[in-house]
Chains A and B, each alone.
Chain A
Amino acid sequence: MFEVLIDQFWSLTLAGISLGFIYVLVSLGYTMVYGVLRMINFANSEIFMWGTFGTIITSRDIFGYTQTSAPATGGKLALVLISQLIMSMAVAGLTAIFVEYVAYRRLRAKGTNRLATLISAIGISIVLSELMRLLTDSRPVGSPRVLEKIILTEVWGANIRLDTIVTIFAAALIYFLLERFVQLSRMGKAIRAVSMNEDAAKLMGVNLNRVITTTFLVGGLATGAAAFFYITVFEYSKFNIGFTMGMAAFTAAVLGGIGNIRGAFYGGLFLGLLEVYASAVLGTQWKAVTVFIVLVLVLLFKPNGLFGEAVQTTRA
């Protein structure tokens, strides 16, 4: 039962961490919006999906890579990767703003019940995913390989691959930048102020609409970055990939303590590792069951998630 885990421990761990960092960035999309609006950004999964297509279009249609062309090297590699990242973040960020504008703004202005907003968000996510389905003829879309997946070295029986390393470090960097933005910038402070007390923030002269749009934008940017890493690692997208990713990232956000940026970080990594280990030990078909049981146990003993305490104190 455990022989796979013991035999392949370090490759599994590495895979779990790189998957975990993708979860971290997507769950930021949930946690940021939740922190400010106290609402699940149900359409975040589709924002992610649109981001993956932004990435693919950049390498395939702008730079003209095909499935058979050789991976890029040197300066060209950096150029393509960075434009892919920017494009993915831009597409996802714009989609997030669109979602906020269409599905949330009007309802928020009316101050109506949260469930109406949830259904409206579900509606917009159906629209986004069906629209992409019609645009892609329901087909899966492969992404050309830009970053050669060279095995750099072998440590403790685990292959250290270039794309894994890039994903882990770049994702950590983006997470760090976003976290600093929320902690230090003027806008970030406004976001946190609204998250703690909306009315008081309004009285202090915070422009609520701008803050909320920015929150969606930041969440969308993080999700877009995740979409880029996802494409770099898995090189594949389809109109329905958002759902699985959204479920996992949302679970990660709740595990860590939703509304709490650090919580998203730990929750994402924890979930990435948990999924990989559980699949290795129990079989991949029981992965989701294990995740659910762990989630219930965590919530039973720490009802605000693993790192939810901080939210409680900051929210007060």
Chain B
Amino acid sequence: MKIRNYWNLRDFGANLWENAGRPVRVAIVLGSILLVGLLPFMGGSILATPIAAFDAVLVYPVGMFVLMSLGLNIVVGKSGMLDLGYVAFFAIGAYTMAYLGTTTNLNTWEIMPIGIALAMIAGVLLGIPTLRLRGDYLAIVTLGFGEIVRLILLNSTWSKGPNGIANIPMPPDLGPLKFELKNQRVFFWVVMAMILLTIWMIRRLTVRRPGRAWEAIRQDEDAAELMGIHTLKYKIWSFTLGAAVGGAAGVLFASKNLYIAPEMFTLNVSILILACVVFGGIGNIWGVVIGAAILGYLPDRIRFISDARLLAFGLVLVVVMNFRPDGLLPRKKREKAIVKREANA
């Protein structure tokens, strides 16, 4: 007897995709991009956020969370390393933008590669000594790293300490698209483009050598090493790519927020991003996107319960994790089975 599983949205989506021909696929992709792109105009609908502006919520937290979660997913989801200090790369990107944007004439797009490069360098510098560690040891070291970056920003004079850096320039206009604070839809489209680019990059890599190496490392690091995979190299690669995405998100964030301070880059952000990844479905790009979108959006949607907002957020995490431990849209079963066995080992 075949019971249709209405809850398995991932398989439903995958079926739809696999049974479709090329034109249909193109149509699906373009259609979804268009639909998502129209989101900023939905501010008056049932989606409206009570106090925050809907278009602003779409950029931060929603868009930024999706972008960062995708970056963290390369580290946690693809190659199975628990990183609790992801906010560090975000902060490095943001401070690169803030510092160069206020002291030089470079604009956001010119600073972007510098921010990404610095985040990647930080990733390598942290990765080389620490990626030999495994599991929870790695977790505590990355957690410490995130705090250290914040403390250094807090105690340095070039970063203006706790006062933070104000008056960061906005990105220059992209042709007819003008960046404005009042209506942040252009920011949203830029974040969307960055998200699409990241998704494209991850999908490319997943089917190529690095993706296979990560998969092998995630499933069994020792076996991967024995099979001749240079595990440390690929781990650093995945760490660095994750860092690059975080750095890019940071640059854009600083340029959108116009003001940044160390208090924005606390451990809470790292944990929240990790929660987005796991909540949506670790390792599955679409799950991560949906998880991050929900967790970014939810706290602003439920502002009417103001005081108990975080309490409700915590409850949602517990309940969803208990009923859907592999996330809202889990990764494929084949991969899941191995994770389960690992947990029992």
Partners in one complex: yes
A residues apposed to B, CB below 8 Å: 34, 40, 102-103, 106-107, 110-120, 122-127, 130-131, 134, 198-199, 247, 250-251, 254, 258, 285-286, 288-289, 291-292, 295-296, 299-300, 303-304
| A contact residues around B343 at 8 Å (CB) | 111-114
Say what secondary structure dominates the interface of chain B. helix
Query: A127 and B315 in contact (CB under 8 A), knowing A107-B321, A110-B325, A120-B321?
Result: yes
| B contact residues around A300 at 8 Å (CB) | 129, 132
| B contact residues around A107 at 8 Å (CB) | 321-322, 325
Does B60 reach chain A (CB closer than 8 Å)?
Answer: no
Which residue of chain A has the shortest Cβ distance to B126 in the bound complex? A296
A/B interface sample: 13 pairs, CB < 8 A: A112-B339, A113-B325, A113-B326, A114-B343, A115-B274, A116-B326, A118-B274, A119-B321, A122-B275, A131-B311, A288-B148, A296-B129, A303-B132
**Most chain B CB inside 10 Å of its own CB: which residue of A102, A115, A123:** A115
- Evaluate contact between A119 and B147: CB separation under 8 angstroms: no
List 5 A-B pairs, minimum CB-CB distance, nearest first.
Answer: A123-B317, A126-B314, A112-B325, A292-B144, A120-B321
Interface residues of B in 122-153 (CB under 8 A from A): 129-130, 132-134, 136-137, 139-141, 143-145, 147-148, 151-152
Could you tell me the distance between the alpha carbons of A103 and B82 in the complex, rounded to whole angstroms?
19
Say what secondary structure dominates the interface of chain A. helix
- Evaluate contact between B278 and A119: CB separation under 8 angstroms: yes
B residues apposed to A, CB below 8 Å: 76, 82, 129-130, 132-134, 136-137, 139-141, 143-145, 147-148, 151-152, 154-155, 271, 274-275, 278-279, 282, 307-308, 310-311, 313-318, 321-322, 325-327, 336, 339-340, 342-344
- Evaluate contact between A111 and B145: CB separation under 8 angstroms: no
- Evaluate contact between A115 and B148: CB separation under 8 angstroms: no
| B contact residues around A292 at 8 Å (CB) | 141, 144-145, 147-148
| B contact residues around A198 at 8 Å (CB) | 344
| A contact residues around B336 at 8 Å (CB) | 113
A-B contacts besides A119-B317, A286-B151, 19 pairs, CB < 8 Å: A40-B139, A103-B318, A112-B325, A112-B343, A113-B282, A113-B326, A113-B340, A115-B274, A115-B278, A116-B325, A122-B275, A124-B314, A126-B310, A127-B315, A130-B314, A285-B154, A300-B129, A303-B132, A303-B137
Could you tell me the distance between the alpha carbons of A134 and B154 in the complex, rounded to whole angstroms?
30
Could you tell me the distance between the alpha carbons of A198 and B313 in the complex, rounded to whole angstroms?
33
Could you tell me the distance between the alpha carbons of A112 and B310 in the complex, rounded to whole angstroms?
26
B160 to chain A, nearest CB (A): 15
Could you tell me the distance between the alpha carbons of A106 and B17 in the complex, rounded to whole angstroms?
34
